[in-house]
Structures are given as structure tokens and as C-alpha cells.
Amino acid sequence: MKKRCFLLTAFTLLLTSYTSTAQDFNEDSDKWTKGWTNFSPNKTDYPEAEEKLPNIIANHTYLRNDIVYLMSGDVYVTNGVTLTIQEGTIIRCDHENPANLIVTKGSKLIALGSKAYPIVFTSNKSPKSRNSGDWGGILIAGSGKLNTTSGNGVIEGNFNPQFSVYGGNQQDEETTIFSHVRIEFAGNTSKRRKGSNGLSLYGIGSSSIIDNVMVSYSGQDSFNFRGGKNNVQNLISLKAQEDDYQLSEGFKGNLDNIMAIRHPYITSPEGSYAIEVDGYNKNLGYNRPNQVTDITITNATLVNLSDKTNYQHTSAAISASNAALTYIHNSKISGFSDVVQFDKSYTSLPLIQKSFMMDNSFFNIHAEGVSVTNQLLKKESLDILKYNRFTKDFVNVKDLFADPQNNVVPKFNLKQSMNTYMVMQ
């Protein structure tokens, strides 16, 4: 299918000044995914649970890896205590009484797995019978800053009101240490109208550590950041039904080495994106324009496993709304309709150019590249994709990447040299 015909005269096969700094997308740069991930979690035979977690954890608690735990219903970590989980620990999560782990404001979760012994939260169903949304998810409430009018928020989902408040002025709080953790088949919506996400971080503090986390087959978002400030890295979202990464309520930070693997037939009727950036919560309001969500994404691999028979089911890779600020660098975007979709809050070309920047990146899409509400801005807004290489015509995922559907560790290095793709001057 032909695309962006009116742009091609402005492109060239090789731009010397660009290639001198461009990332080599032909190399396997995803070595960090090896050893602790699981791209086929429905086939894994986990041991049966031996001990049930209490629904209120009000004392410092340590979970050992020689015990398999069952989490059933809502489990609250309260009273400012710390829940510590040893590397290699497995927590089976109830699907009949969908489990949620809620770390309340002032309390802390230390889940420090390792590459050899990751911590796993997974469905308590047997292999080959697990589904997206079998259980709830992990919700961590911090005291970081929000851009809401009150400076606070309440966790969605009708949780216990006394344990649901988040936000404050402790921007540098160490809310959690969360490393080498897998979250599988979360995102349940049967118990609550508004279901939980795989990992929800509310008002997260900048001293927190979030890295090497994989969320697989979430029935809602995989990762949801609301307010706070943090730099995170090495995150994987596998086949989420809703967004892979949702960022809102004034969250500020960097996301480095992130991966989103989507499928064209796994999506939400409300729209699903690899990245959804929302400048502020319209229901809660905000105080100042400089407090909108502001993120930098580097070394991202955002892939929809689509081909020419099904790409019509895909949407834009990135959704930007309510004046959010987004910068994408050294990243790959493939299999979507557009790179970015803007809502009606982006009322002018200068505002779009100020709010979204992308460079040193590669994209393979089947529409024009940028979707805007104001059609008068459509042609001019494509200028924001300058200095990024792209395919002239849409390429099937198997033809573009080395081994994108590998069930052990997929490989998203490009089969062909970057010099064979177009680039805008």
C-alpha cells in the first residue's frame, strides 16, 4: 500500500550527517531481555501454592522463595511497613476471588529478584488455561507530586477508601524497589467495573528503583504511571489488551530500554496504544501548564505483530492528549497505522512541534505517520518526523525483523541495513 506520497520528494536514501549518529538497528540490542523473561507463560508449569497471604499486612513481612504463596482477594500493605520478597519467589494469584496487591501510601514494597531468579506473580490456573485478566494486579501508592488541583488522587476501582489515597510532596521518596519481576495474566475486570492494571505506580518517588519488569497478557494496561517522578528502564509489555504504557497526572521521567509487543487482534474497543501520554486528568484538573506529563523515551521497541492481511486492525503507536510532552529517541516503531495521534488539545502546529519530538529512530507504518483532529494541520505536522528513517511501503513483521515471533526471546533487529530505508531531510 502506498503512503505519504507527497513526502517522498523531500527524502533521500542516505543522509551523511544523520547516519553518523544513528543507532545501529541491525544489531541485537535486546540482550537485557535474556535469562529472566518468559514469552510463553501459558506453557509454564508453576508449583502449587502452599501458603496464603493475609489480606492485611500491617507488620514488616518477608516472603521466602522456598514457599509458593497464594494471593486471594485484596491484600493491603499498611501502617508504613515494608513487604520484602526474596528473589525467585512465586506468588500464585487467585482468579475466582481476583487478587490485588495494594501497597498503601507510606508503606513500601521491596521485590528484588535477579536475572537467574526472577520474582513471579502469575495466575493460579493450570498451564494452557490461563487468560488475560485472570487476577487483578499490583498497585503501589506513593507520596510524589501530582498535577491535580488538590495534589492528591484516589486509586480507581473502589478499593478500601482509607487505603486508596496517593500523592503528596515527597518527590524523592523511595516508594518501591521493583526489579527482575514478571507479572502474568493480570488486569481483571470481573470484580470491579474499572479493573486493575498489571503494575500501577501512583505518585511514585524518584528514589524508587523500577527496572527489568515484564508484564504479560494484561487485561488492562501493562504499566500505568500516575504522577510522581522516576527514571525506569528495561520494561517489557507482552500482548496487553489495553495500553502497554500509560502515563498521566503530571508524571515526569525517562523510560529507557522499553519494549511493547502487540497483536492486531488483541485490543480494547476504547483504543489501545503502545504509549498513551495524558498531560493531565480532566476530571481532577491541574494548576499550571508546566506541570503536564513530560516524558523522554529512549531505545524503545514498539511493535505490533501485523502483516498486510490484518494491519487494518491497528491504531497509532503513540497517543498524546491534554497537551502532554513527549520525546522519542533511538527507537523502533513498526506495525501500527501511525507513529502518533494527537487529540484536540493540540490546536496549532507550533504547539505540536513543542509537544512532540522524535529523532534518530525508525518506523514502519501503513498510514501517513501523524493523526490530528484538526485536518488543516495534517500535512504540516508530518514535519515532526524529520530525521527518522522509515519504510517506503509497509513491510510485514516477519520480513522486517530477524525473529520477531520467537517464543524464547524474540529478536527485533532489522534484517536489512538501515541505509536501505528512507530518511527525511
- Domains recognised in the chain with CATH numbers: 16-385 (2.160.20)
Give dist(CA 186, CA 95) in Å, integer.
9
pLDDT, position 42: 97
Rg (CA), the chain: 21
pLDDT, position 22: 47
For residue 54, what is the DSSP state? P
pLDDT, position 110: 98
Backbone phi, psi, residue 219, to 5°: -80, -10
pLDDT, position 424: 65
**Longest C-alpha distance within the chain, in Å?**
66
For the chain, what's the residue count? 425
Reading the block at residue 232, the C-alpha cell is 525506569
pLDDT, position 287: 66
Give dist(CA 174, CA 203) in Å, integer.
11
How far is C-alpha 255 from the geometric centre of its chain's CA atoms?
Answer: 9
Q: Mean pLDDT per 10-residue run, the chain (425 residues)?
A: 37 35 67 96 97 98 98 98 98 97 98 98 98 97 93 91 95 97 94 86 98 98 97 98 97 98 90 94 73 96 97 96 96 98 94 95 96 87 93 96 94 88 75
Residue 233 and residue 257 in contact, taking contact as beta carbons nearer than 8 Å: yes
pLDDT, position 95: 96
Centre a 10 Å sphere on the Cβ of residue 391 and count the other Cβ atoms it contains: 19
Cβ-based burial of 287 (10 A; exposed 0-12, middle 13-18, buried ≥19): middle
Centre a 10 Å sphere on the Cβ of residue 154 and count the other Cβ atoms it contains: 16
Give dist(CA 311, CA 327) in Å, integer.
26
